Amino acid sequence: MATAHAHDAHGHDDHHHGPEKGIMRWIKTTNHKDLGTLYLVFAFTMFFIGGLMSLVIRAELFQPGLQFVDPEFFNSMTTLHALVMIFGGVMPAFTGLANWMVPMMIGAGDLALPRVNNWGFWILPFAFTMLLSTLFMEGGAPAGGWTMYPPLVLQTGNAFPLLIFAIHLMGISSITGAINVVVTILNMRAPGMTLLKMPLFVWTWLITAYLLIATMPVLAGAVTMLLTDKYFDTSFFTASGGGDPVMFQHIFWFFGHPEVYILILPAFGIVSTIIPTFARKRLFGYDSMVYATASIGFLSFIVWAHHMFTVGMPLAGELFFMFSTMLIAVPTGVKVFNWVATMWKGSMTFETPMLFALAFVFLFTVGGFSGLMLAITPVDFQYHDTYFVVAHFHYVLVPGAVFSILAAVYYWVPKWTGVMYSEFWGKVHFWLSAIFINVTFFPQHFLGLAGMQRRVPDYNVMFSDFNMVSTVGAFAFMAAQFIFIGNMLYCMFAKRSGQVPDRVWEGAHGLEWCVASPAPYHTFEDPPMVGADGEPVKGSHAAAAHH
């Protein structure tokens, strides 16, 4: 409040040339770059917590028989691993990137609602403290899977309300974040930055934000019904009262499927930004990329029941959802083909961001193929709830979403810190990650086909070998990530600003490359005039963003 009055009091240029000092800077900041950093650091922490949980899972699955954990605790690990990775890792990481880059890419001074932006971030640490605190509660942490199907999830102990409220908080955070991005993109583009001149990262985030605003409230509604079913004797999901457990699954997946595209669309944007830079060639089929993204966004609302083929839907339903799901391959294919066409006859170099981007195109597509196989309903009856599904979604999520995040961080970190990361260690990190992610998840295809079901702490001895391989891969992959930490700490704390040029990558285009590296605390307070090439017209304000 005091601050609000302060406005009238003085002209306050003071805080303007730099941020406040100390911890208070981070708690009170309304600056998109500060918040972007906070988001990324938070996501990073969550990735590691979720990673450690996955290692508990893999360790138990190293051999048949139970060696380390009780089955109930194993299920908690599976459940929390997924929630932490999705809601704590990938989504905040993407929001962090949007915070940093969207305003810089469209020539805005900041996000449209800076205070709300701060709120959206600070909700997360509280939400996840709550969620993780359940590990220490009697009755244990939630163990019903991240899909939280009733009636099972209603057997959760003391932890139950905190699970629900943590989800509510994450929902609020995502919605506020999404509204912020939408409004920023629609309302704060610099003059000349027409919609069809926007970088694809901005476009994909626009659609992602729309998906978030449309689906997060539905998830909130679904878990609210769980809450009332458990504590206020409603019977939405109980047959004896006329409800239906399957109804929850429909509502959940109406959120859940768009959610998985929320986890991949920004990745598409990142890859569509990085490949042209290192191919030194304009993105092929920009317009079709935009339309493809839009149609993926639309289709994602009418395929949800492909997660529920075995619940016994009427035949017509099964057929409809099979066909609609298969359709998504078309726009996604357009994207893949456009990426390849962008590389075609380019002049490529392979710095770390490019390596991760290429691995993305390759491995995401592999995951896409298995996805398409899962879409074939009669065969999904065999695949469903086996490790084949686990393999599918880790291919799209880890070498998909996570690799795109790594690529983006390597790509923009010099712009953020003014320090170039170590290319050598970057490449080492890439190769170790790329190799071991396949060692981890490729064998899981075989496990699934041979009949190993998901969410089990123990298995028949015939699955021993592949599980052993998968576990080795997982530990090695996790270990490789420490190289990344080292590289990032170096960029953040090796104080050698100005060491890198404004246009860090000679092939890079766009407004963000026309401001100093590291980017000043405030950029584009006076919007630049954007020219046909999507870069500032000479003499426009953009220069002013320099020191």
Partner 1 sequence: MASHAPAAPNNTRYFVPDPSAWPFMLTAGLALLIVGVWSYLEDKSLGSIPLYVGGLFSAFIIFRWFRGVALESERGAYGKQVDMTYRMAMAWFIFSEVMFFAAFFGALYYARTMSVPWIGGEGAKGVANIQWPGFEASWPTNGPAALGGAFQNMSAWGLPFINTCLLLTSGITITMAHHAIKLGKRTACIAWMWATVALGVVFLYCQVIEYIHAYQELNLTLGSGVYGSTFFMLTGFHGMHVTLGTLMLFVITCRLMKGHFKPESHFGFEGVAWYWHFVDVVWVGLFIFVYIL
Partner 2 sequence: MFKSGSMARAAAFAAAALMSGAAWAEAARSQYNLPTGVTEISREVYWLHNFVLIIMCVIAVLVFGAMFYSIIAHRRSKHPKPADFHESTTVEIIWTIIPFFVLIGLAIPAAGTLIKMEDTRDAELTVKVTGFQWGWKYEYVGEDYEFVSMLAADSNKARQLDSGVDPKSVPNYLWEVTNPLVLPVGKKVRFLITAQDVIHAWWVFDLAVKKDAIPGYINEAWTKIDEPGTFRGVCAELCGRDHGFMPIVVQALPETEFKTWLAQKKGVDVASLGKAPPVAESVPVATTTDAAASPTDAAAAPVQVAAATPAAAAAKALSKDELMASGKKVYETQCAACHQATGLGLPPNFPSLVGSKVATGPAAAHITHTLNGKGLMPPFKSLSDLDIAGALTYQRNSWGNKASVVQPTDVAAARK
- Catalytic residue positions, numbered: 81, 110, 146, 173-174, 257, 259, 261, 272, 306-307, 332, 335, 454
| Sign of the alpha-carbon dihedral angle for 532, 533, 537, 542 | positive
Q: Which does 132 bind (CB under 5 to 8 A by kind): partner 1, ligand HEA, Cu ion, none?
A: none
Q: Which is nearer to partner 1, 20 or 458 (CB)?
A: 20
Task: Name residues contacting ligand HEA, limited to 225-254 (CB under 6 A).
Answer: none
Asked if 448 is part of the footprint of ligand HEA (rule: CB under 6 A), the reply reads no
Asked if 191 is part of the footprint of partner 1 (rule: CB under 8 A), the reply reads no
Q: Which is nearer to partner 2, 298 or 362 (CB)?
A: 362
Asked if 152 is part of the footprint of partner 2 (rule: CB under 8 A), the reply reads yes
Q: Helix (H, G, I), strand (E, B), or coil: what is residue 175?
A: helix
Q: Helix (H, G, I), strand (E, B), or coil: what is residue 440?
A: helix
User: Cα separation of 269 and 261, whole Å?
Assistant: 12
Instruction: With CB under 5 A as the rule, give the number of residues binding Cu ion.
Output: 1
We find the least distance from the C-beta atom of residue 114 to ligand HEA, in angstroms, to be: 22
Q: Which is nearer to partner 1, 12 or 546 (CB)?
A: 12
What's the token pair of residue 338? 């456009």
Q: Which does 409 bind (CB under 5 to 8 A by kind): partner 2, ligand HEA, partner 1, none?
A: ligand HEA
Q: Which does 6 bind (CB under 5 to 8 A by kind): partner 2, partner 1, ligand HEA, none?
A: partner 1
Of the candidates 392, 407, 394, 501, the residue with the CA atom closest to the CA atom of residue 437: 394
Using the contact rule CB under 8 A, the part of the chain among 151-159, 215-223, 410-418, 496-504 near partner 2 is 151-159
User: Cα separation of 293 and 205, whole Å?
Assistant: 10
We find the least distance from the C-beta atom of residue 13 to ligand HEA, in angstroms, to be: 34
Task: Name residues contacting partner 1, limited to 22-61 (CB under 8 A).
Answer: 24-25, 27-31
Q: Which is nearer to Cu ion, 35 or 260 (CB)?
A: 260
User: Cα separation of 134 and 520, whole Å?
Assistant: 41
Using the contact rule CB under 8 A, the part of the chain among 58-66, 307-315, 397-405, 479-487 near partner 1 is 307-315
We find the least distance from the C-beta atom of residue 312 to partner 2, in angstroms, to be: 4
Asked if 392 is part of the footprint of Cu ion (rule: CB under 5 A), the reply reads no
Asked if 546 is part of the footprint of partner 1 (rule: CB under 8 A), the reply reads no
Task: Name residues contacting ligand HEA, limited to 329-358 (CB under 6 A).
Answer: 329, 332-333, 336
Task: Name residues contacting ligand HEA, limited to 173-202 (CB under 6 A).
Answer: none
We find the least distance from the C-beta atom of residue 415 to partner 1, in angstroms, to be: 21
CA 41 to chain centre: 14
Asked if 197 is part of the footprint of partner 1 (rule: CB under 8 A), the reply reads no
We find the least distance from the C-beta atom of residue 371 to partner 2, in angstroms, to be: 10
Interface map 357-386 toward partner 2 (x if CB under 8 A): -x--xx--xx--xx-xx--xxxx-xx-xxx
We find the least distance from the C-beta atom of residue 56 to partner 2, in angstroms, to be: 14
User: Cα separation of 97 and 165, whole Å?
Assistant: 26
Task: Name residues contacting partner 1, limited to 221-240 (CB under 8 A).
Answer: 221-222, 224-225, 228-229, 231-236, 238-240
User: Strands, DSSP E only, in 35-192?
Assistant: none
Task: Name residues contacting partner 1, limited to 453-482 (CB under 8 A).
Answer: none
Using the contact rule CB under 8 A, the part of the chain among 36-44, 159-167, 309-317, 486-494 near partner 2 is 309-317
Name 386's bridge partners: 453
Task: Name residues contacting Cu ion, limited to 281-320 (CB under 5 A).
Answer: none
Is 514 exposed, middle or buried, given 0-12, 13-18 or 19+ CB atoms closer than 10 A? buried
User: Cα separation of 291 and 334, whole Å?
Assistant: 10
Asked if 147 is part of the footprint of partner 1 (rule: CB under 8 A), the reply reads no
What Å distances lie between residue 297 and 345, 376, 378, 439, CA to CA? Answer: 31, 21, 26, 32
Q: Which is nearer to ligand HEA, 54 or 118 (CB)?
A: 54
We find the least distance from the C-beta atom of residue 458 to ligand HEA, in angstroms, to be: 11
| H or E segment to which residue 328 belongs | none
Task: Name residues contacting ligand HEA, limited to 253-312 (CB under 6 A).
Answer: 260, 263-264, 306-307
DSSP annotation of 420 reads -
User: Cα separation of 528 and 511, whole Å?
Assistant: 9
Q: Which does 119 bind (CB under 5 to 8 A by kind): partner 1, ligand HEA, partner 2, none?
A: partner 1
Residues 6+ apart with CB under 8 A from 461: 64
Backbone Cα Rg of the chain: 23
Q: Which is nearer to partner 1, 110 or 512 (CB)?
A: 110
Q: Which does 23 bind (CB under 5 to 8 A by kind): ligand HEA, Cu ion, partner 1, none?
A: none
Which ranges of 451-497 would DSSP assign to H, the alpha helix? 464-493
CA angle at residue 444 from 350 to 383, to 5 degrees? Answer: 120
Q: Helix (H, G, I), strand (E, B), or coil: what is residue 89?
A: helix
Contact 510, 535 (CB under 8 A): yes
Using the contact rule CB under 5 A, the part of the chain among 120-128, 249-257, 328-336, 505-513 near Cu ion is 249-257
User: Cα separation of 515 and 512, whole Å?
Assistant: 6
Asked if 161 is part of the footprint of partner 1 (rule: CB under 8 A), the reply reads yes
CA 148 to chain centre: 20
Contact 99, 36 (CB under 8 A): yes
CA angle at residue 423 from 422 to 428, to 5 degrees? Answer: 100
Q: Helix (H, G, I), strand (E, B), or coil: what is residue 536?
A: strand
Q: Which is nearer to ligand HEA, 52 or 462 (CB)?
A: 52
Phi and psi torsions of 386, nearest 5°:
-115, 175
Measured in Å, how far apart are the chain's first and last C-alpha atoms? 31
Asked if 543 is part of the footprint of partner 1 (rule: CB under 8 A), the reply reads no
Instruction: With CB under 8 A as the rule, give the number of residues binding partner 2.
Output: 94
Interface positions with Cu ion (CB under 5 A): 257
